[in-house]
Amino acid sequence: MRKTGMRKTGMRKTGTSTASKPAGWRAWRAWLLDDSPGSRGQADAGRAYRLTAALLRNPLAVVGALIVLGLVLTAAFAPWIAPASPIGQDLSNRLMPPSSAHWMGTDELGRNIFSRVVHGARITLTIVALVAVISAPLGLIIGAVSGYFGSWVDRVLMGLTDMFLSLPKLILALAFVAALGPGIENAIIAIAITAWPPYARIARAETLTFRQAEFISAMRLLGATHTRIIIRHVLPLCTSSLIVRATLDMAGIILTAAGLGFLGLGAQPPLPEWGAMISRGRAFILDQWWVATMPGIAIIVVSLGFCLLGDGLRDVLDPKHDDA
């Protein structure tokens, strides 16, 4: 395992420096692209290398990856990046236009909008990650079980999935939050409840393609339980299409979360959530445009990043896709 890790980082170092290639690079590359890898580690490293190389050839995907990386770094180092506290008020400097002191201006309580946007990255990343962590495995398990067992299990589970798919997501999320009460945790739950069906469909479709495969029968003959086969052998094979779909869905999740925040149903003040910030800026949109505009630009950039990365990943991992 450790060996693989080292090789991966070595690969990345040499992969990015095109100007002066170390002497061993040719050998490394041959080792990575070997058609019959000698170990699981080599196979994994080779696959990672091919994917990275394919992704790097697509400039838009690189832009997307950089944006997502930027979001993660901003969220991780928010207190060091932000010049001021995201909730510290300074009433003598309220509603100042963008300047060298306040890059994105200040809001109605004199808070530095740039600092708030930077800290908002943490909230956005948390929401996106939690929704993905809840809804993707949920859909994955439902879809894999459905495809693996077939017959009436399949009919019941897919009927349920289709039903959820044909319901309006945003409206359902709104109604759920209305019943659960406003707040960021409830917003996450509501979005996750409405986000799983596409994952179930994908997992089922993938499972169906290898349900009759010989390695599954072999595992059965070896005495493996259904649970073990699904968890150890079926689920891992579904992950790549799932990752593509989840990345493409991120933008939608960010927009829904921001929408809930905008309506006052998501993150509550003084949390610097981007949608909630736009909602506060709504009152000043005609004269102090920056209060509402800046967090909106942050949302657009981050959503676009996920879309571009998702498109790129799909081209690499799943060339025979349809656009739905």
Partner 1 sequence: MAVRWVKDISAFALIVALTFLGLLAITFFIGRVVPIDPVLAVVGDRATQAQYEAARIAMGLDRSLPVQFVDYVLNVLQGELGRSVSTNRLVTTDLLRVFPATLEMATLGILIGVLLGVPMGVLAAVHQGRAVDQLIRLFALLGYAVPAFWLGLVGLAVFYAGLGWAAGPGRIDVFLDGLVDPVTGLLLVDSLLAGDTEVFASALHHLALPALILGFFSLAYIARMTRSFMLDQLAQEYVITARVKGVAEWRVIWQHAFRPIRVPLITVIGLSYAGLLEGSVMIETVFSWPGIGNYLTVALLNADMNAVLGATLVIGAVFILINRVSDLLYRVLDPRSRT
Interacting residue ranges for partner 1, rule: CB under 8 A: 159-160, 162-164, 166-172, 174-180, 251-252, 255, 258-259, 262-265, 275, 278, 281-282, 285-286, 289, 292-293, 296, 299-300, 303-304, 307-308, 311, 322-324
CB of 305 to partner 1, least distance (A): 8
| CB contact at 8 A, 109 and 99 | no
Q: How many residues are recorded in the chain?
A: 324
200 or 238, CB closer to partner 1? 200
CB of 173 to partner 1, least distance (A): 10
- Tokens in use for 236? 């891992």
CB of 217 to partner 1, least distance (A): 28
303's CB contacts (< 8 A; 6+ apart) are 250, 251, 254, 255
CB of 23 to partner 1, least distance (A): 37
Q: How distant, in Å, are the alpha carbons of 23, 133, 245, 295, 297 from that of 256?
A: 51, 17, 17, 15, 16
202 or 219, CB closer to partner 1? 202
CB of 285 to partner 1, least distance (A): 5
CB of 73 to partner 1, least distance (A): 20
CB of 307 to partner 1, least distance (A): 5
CB of 289 to partner 1, least distance (A): 6
5 or 97, CB closer to partner 1? 97
| CB contact at 8 A, 285 and 231 | no
34 or 185, CB closer to partner 1? 185
Instruction: Please report how many Cα atoms fall inside a 13 Å half-sphere around the Cα of residue 175, on the Cβ side.
Output: 8
CB of 156 to partner 1, least distance (A): 12
189 or 203, CB closer to partner 1? 189
Q: Report the C-alpha dihedral over residues 75, 274, 132, 80, rounded to 10 degrees.
A: 10
Taking the CA atoms of the chain, what radius of gyration do you get in angstroms? 23
- 224 φ/ψ angles, rounded to the nearest 5 degrees: -70, 145
154's CB contacts (< 8 A; 6+ apart) are 146, 147, 204
| CB contact at 8 A, 197 and 140 | no
Alpha-carbon gap, residue 180 to 177, rounded angstroms: 5
Instruction: Kindly tell me the burial class for residue 218, based on how many C-beta atoms sit within 10 Å of its own C-beta (0-12, 13-18, 19 or more).
Output: exposed
Q: How distant, in Å, are the alpha carbons of 152, 230, 234, 270, 304 from that of 120?
A: 46, 38, 37, 11, 17
CA 245 to chain centre: 9
